[in-house]
Structure formats: C-alpha cells, structure tokens
Amino acid sequence: MARSDLLINLVKAGVSGDTRTVKRTVEAIVAEERAKQHNVLADRLEKVVETPPMNGQSNIARVSAEASGRGAREFIAEMIPRRRLDELVLPDLTRLAATQLIEEQQRASLLRSHSLEPRHRILLVGPPGNGKTTLAEAIAESLAVPFFVVRYEAMIGSFLGETATRLKRVFDYARTTPCVLFFDEFDAVGKERGDIHETGEIKRVVTSLLMQIDDLPSYVVVLAATNHAELLDRAVWRRFQLRLTLPAPTQKQLAAFLSSLSARAEIKLGLGTEQIAKALGRVSYSEAEEFFTDILRRRILSGDGRAVVDIIREQMKLWMGRARAAPGISKDESDAGSAAP
C-alpha cells in the first residue's frame, strides 16, 4: 500500500478505535521500512507500540517480543535463496503462474492504486523430489526477500495449545518484513479435521492455521508444499489463490534438466542427455541432480585420468543396482527404465 494510504488508514483507525486495523497498518509500515533497510526507524516504531499506555488500558497495537523475533526465531530457519526461476524445468502453466505472481508482487504499488492486492498464497502439490522447495526458493530469490522455512520439529509441542501458540508467533514474526514463508510437508499441520483418528489438538491447530493465513498481509508470500494432497483439510484448499502441481518429470523434461546442469557446470557429458534420461528411468529431479553430483565428484577425484563418458557409464551401473534394490520397484520395471547406454 502507498505510504499516503497507510497514514490515512492509521489515522482513520485510530479515530474510530479500530484496534485491528491499527495493528495491521503499523505492521505494514514496519515491514516497509525494513524492506528499505531503515532498521532504526522500524525498531523505534516497534518500541513505541510495545510501550504500555499511561492510562493502564490494554495496548491496542502491541507488537510482541515473539513477533519481533525474540520468541519466533527458534521455529523458523532463514535460508539464503540461491536457485533462480530460469534454472528450473517446470510445466508451462506452473511457470506462467509463478511468473505472474512474481510480477504482481514486484508491481504491488500499481495494483494497490487500483484497490487490488497481489496474490500471495500458493499451494504446491506433487511427489517428493520434484521441485516444490526449489520453486519456493526461486520465488524468494526473484523477489529478493528473506526465505523463511518453518521448523516443525521445534514448533510442534506436546502440551495443550502449545503448537497453536507457537504457530501464531511464526505468523506474527513473518508480518514484520516482506518475505517468503515456506511450509514443507504441509499436511503435518493442515490435516483434515474430519478425520476421526486425529486428536482435538490437531483440529485446534488447523483452525488457528486457517485464521492466521487469512490474516496475512499480501507482502508475505506463503507457500505450502505437500506430497499428500488427499490428507489436507478441505477448508485449506480455498485459502490458497494458486494451486500448482509439480509432477514427476517426463523423459524429455529430465533430459532438459540434465542439459541445464551440464551447461551450468560447463561439462561435456559425452553422451546425449536423452540417452542418459532414458537409462535413469523413473527418477525425480532431486535424484537426477544427485546422479549428476556423483559424476562431478568422481570427475574431480579422478583428475584428468578418465573420460567423463566412462565415469557416467560406471555411475549408471551403480544407479541401476540402486533402483533394483528400491522398495516397490519390480525387477522388470527397473530393467525397462534402466538399460545401460
């Protein structure tokens, strides 16, 4: 929102006693100042709203210690986004949707001048290892904002109400700055509330989660990823403005991905990437990248004594053996998708 609109909203809310709008407007101003690296001013604003009023009434716009980071940091891992969107092999519609979202965030002021907000809630669905986390990272890199990953192992507690309280701290902290907030394995906290096998506690967590998502300002881009979309609460789906699928790669997409890795590493493979992709068979992008990294390791350790093509053939044999040993993959499936080049 433009600075003039923020100030007008703040005055209107203060005059009318709308404490909710006052709180959200102050949070938006603090986030805007932090985005401009005006940290001294942002800190002073937070300090002002943290100061108890002289008349002893409740603080209408209190920004808690947890929200300013002193109580939420243990539940969030801040990552440096390094992957770029143009490096990713994505379905055409997924790339288009991600590009549109980035443009809306970058040109948010224009949208707000027309009383519109940029989209900022995205649900990523697909099997593991096919780019959900990487896409979230690439969006953060494109927007040049912090990339926060929620740490479930620290946030989920064993006492009644503890998880919901910690979850609120995470959202309160995210509101203090433009950022990408990423929930991996989202089904861990967004499970179907109608499941009779779930406890009342997880139902309370889901209810709190939905309320917090609804209350997020549009400068916080929240991405949630899941491998098990069927486990999500039905109300979760409508909270997300974009629902993107990242399926397992086709052989053509896998070949393009290997070509991209080879070009970035400036290595000539000596074999066609289509041939390698066919030999790898049914693998995810993550597994294909792991295979390519194995090649890099062996190339470095062998020096100039071996051709890259010989290293690839050797690693291919190892991967064929690994595929046959994987649970749920029959020998016939492995042989069909892993013929040596």
DSSP letter for 248, please. Answer: P
Tell me the C-alpha distance between 180 and 144, whole Å.
10
The residue written with tokens 């986390």 in the block is 133
User: Is 119 within 8 Å of 104 (Cβ atoms)?
Assistant: yes
DSSP letter for 229, please. Answer: G
Question: What pLDDT was estimated at residue 118?
Answer: 95
Tell me the C-alpha distance between 87 and 146, whole Å.
20
User: Which bin fits 69, alpha (ψ -120 to 50), beta or left (φ > 0)?
Assistant: left
Give the DSSP letter string of 98-143. Answer: HHHHHHHHHTHHHHHTTT-----EEEEE-STTSSHHHHHHHHHHHH
Question: What pLDDT was estimated at residue 302?
Answer: 86
For residue 79, what are the β-bridge partners? 147
168: closest CA among 64, 240, 241, 239? 64
Strand order through the sheet with 147-150: 76-79, 147-150, 179-183, 220-226, 121-125, 242-245
Tell me the C-alpha distance between 221 and 251, whole Å.
32
Amino acid type, 331: K
DSSP letter for 177, please. Answer: S
Give the chain's residues under pLDDT 50. 54-70, 329-341
283: closest CA among 230, 228, 326? 326
Question: What pLDDT was estimated at residue 201?
Answer: 67
Question: What pLDDT was estimated at residue 54?
Answer: 43
Within 8 A by CB and 6+ apart from 284, the residues are 127, 128, 129, 130, 248, 249
Strands of 158-219 (E only): list them: 179-183
Question: What pLDDT was estimated at residue 2?
Answer: 56
Tell me the C-alpha distance between 160 and 152, whole Å.
16
Alpha carbon 209 to its chain centroid, in Å, reads 16
How many helical (H) and strand (E) elements, i.e. helices and strands, does the chain have? Answer: 15, 6
